Chain A
Amino acid sequence: MITMEHVYKSYRVAKRNAGMKEACKALLRRETQTVQALSDISFAIADGEMVGYIGPNGAGKSSTIKILSGILTPDSGSCLIDGRVPWKDRREHVRQIGVVFGQRSQLWWDVPVLDSFELLKDIYSISQYDYQHNLEELTQLLHLQELLKIPVRQLSLGQRMRCELAASLLHSPRVLFLDEPTIGLDAVSKLAVREFIQRLNAAHKTTVILTTHDMQDIEALTKRIILIGKGRVLLDGTLEDMCLLAGKPQSEESRFGTKKHESMAFRQNADKTEAEDDTASENDLDRIVASLYQKLEIL
């Protein structure tokens, strides 16, 4: 169970105009500005739920994830995950969670993947039995057999991301935070990652919180969406709710209409139409989100 109540977080940002003169001035006096990253964020997430946490760049998604994972301390507000305050009981808390930052790496660059896994085994004090069991399961699900003995620097991004996912799950966390896990991946890798997350959630009831800009991730994985903008929760509901908020009900209706009721026969006999339909609706979804974000700018 995850609850966040009235969480605020602000950063100080150094600020100056471009140019040599300004740079020299800044040597003597720095101007800083306080940027409110999160203001009054509240939500609750039940065990085993998969939630999409979305919003435009700079909305506060990563800040929220970092507070939830005990890295950052909020200015005010409360947050409880399985009865623990992340930034206060940091070490106990992080034993129960797994985190994947899509834009960073937790694997050691110059050594084979397996060495990084062995290190994680010691960091989390995972028993040999559990380690072996989890490693086998993850290797199979993520198709890692060929990758484990290769130094990380020689893996492709997609291969590395599969290894990153495995690394975050070796200690069987109850909660998994995914911060843009599919960023920069090709279609095949994206599908593999999505499928894996789905299976993980189904098999182990792992709570998953996912931030992404890829609306297909959201569509494939989560029933519930929390939409934030400028540090506030703007919507907590389903994908349909979001489309309604965007104010394009008809195109949205048709999209979900076909998706839900389309028969297997239809899928198979009209490969081409389906492909066209798919690209069209992907664009639709992106357009809906874009228009929604634009609206939010005005608010």
Chain B
Amino acid sequence: MKANGNSLRKYFSFFRMRFQMGLQYRAAAAGGCVTQFLWGIMECLAFRAFYEADESAFPMAFSSVVAYVWLREAFFALFTTWNTDNELFDSVINGNIAYELCRPLSVYRMWFARTAGNRLANAALRCVPILFAAFLLPEPFRMTLPVNVQSMLLFIITMFLGAGVTVAFCMFVYLLAFFTISPQGLRMVFTAMVQFLSGAIIPLSFMPDSVRRVLELLPFAGMFNVPLRIYSGDLVGAKMLRAIGMQIFWLVLLTACGKLLCRAAERRIVVQGG
């Protein structure tokens, strides 16, 4: 048990290192905040126009949509598959992975910890100003508090689960670097696709029923979709429990497969650049 504690500590150190590093990029965070905020306003205005035409035609209350949009902007860096850690790709491409392979570590766990730390740092820097501004906006566009304490707690829990699913999925994208000369092409395909499937463009409730039912079975539904809809009160009861179950299922399955793939990658490794 002690050995286990020690080994977790290593990975936590990687997490902390990447978190600290992420905190020092202030200009990037400021730029990110402005972009996200403007994007959020634009989307709120667009939805407003649709809702004014016929509010009853939409599956979510307008205030829920607004909360969804603001949370998505605030925690964008945590859930978006765009936010890949290029250091990890680079280490394979330029061969610095050699150093990481001569440490008493599991490459999978280390990368997982690093990329989770990076995401959390990025989100921590961006969420406070965005949410602060969103709470100050005039009425229809103002960010609302969750309906009750329970949904707040569930939001926090599912947010971490969702971040876990996102990182576990991104690990596949990182591991691609071992199998191709340049992973960027495949990265573009995956990230663009997942962006749509995870509810980052529009909430999944807006999809046609048959499509939505399929999407909810995929791992991507656990990323933006679940925590954000729980916060805004759109996902409750049995449906919510099923969604959380799916998050846990995919987190376990994706990490297990990722570890296997990582082991295969380690075996066929060639350190590039001499």
Contact = CB atoms under 8 A, between A and B. Distances in A.
Interface of A: 11, 62, 66, 69-73, 90-92, 94-95, 97, 99, 101, 103-106, 108, 110-111, 115, 118-119, 122-125
Contacts of A94: 102-104
B101 A122 contact: no
Nearest to A101: B98
Nearest to B274: A62
Contacts of A110: 21, 24
A108 B17 contact: yes
Contacts of B105: 91, 123
Contact of B10 (A73, A97, A108, A122): A122
A105 B273 CA distance: 13
A144 B273 CA distance: 29
Given A72-B270, A99-B102, A122-B10, 16 more contacts: A62-B274, A70-B102, A71-B271, A73-B267, A91-B105, A92-B104, A95-B104, A104-B95, A104-B99, A106-B96, A108-B21, A110-B21, A122-B9, A122-B13, A123-B13, A125-B9
B17 A119 contact: yes
B103 A72 contact: no
Interface residues of B, number: 26
A125 B274 contact: no
B21 A101 contact: no
A225 to B, nearest CB: 21
Contacts of B21: 108, 110-111
Nearest to A107: B99
B269 interface: yes
19 contacts: A62-B271, A70-B101, A71-B269, A71-B271, A72-B270, A72-B271, A92-B104, A97-B102, A104-B94, A104-B95, A104-B96, A104-B99, A106-B96, A110-B24, A111-B20, A115-B20, A118-B13, A122-B9, A125-B9
B102 A123 contact: no
Interface of B: 6, 9-10, 12-14, 17, 20-21, 24, 94-96, 98-99, 101-105, 267, 269-271, 273-274
Counting chain B CB atoms within 10 Å of each CB, the highest count among A11, A91, A97 belongs to: A91
Contacts of B13: 118-119, 122-123
B271 A66 contact: yes
Contacts of A97: 102
Contacts of A122: 9-10, 12-13
A97 B98 CA distance: 14
Contacts of A66: 98, 271
Nearest to A105: B96
B102 A72 contact: no
Nearest to B267: A73
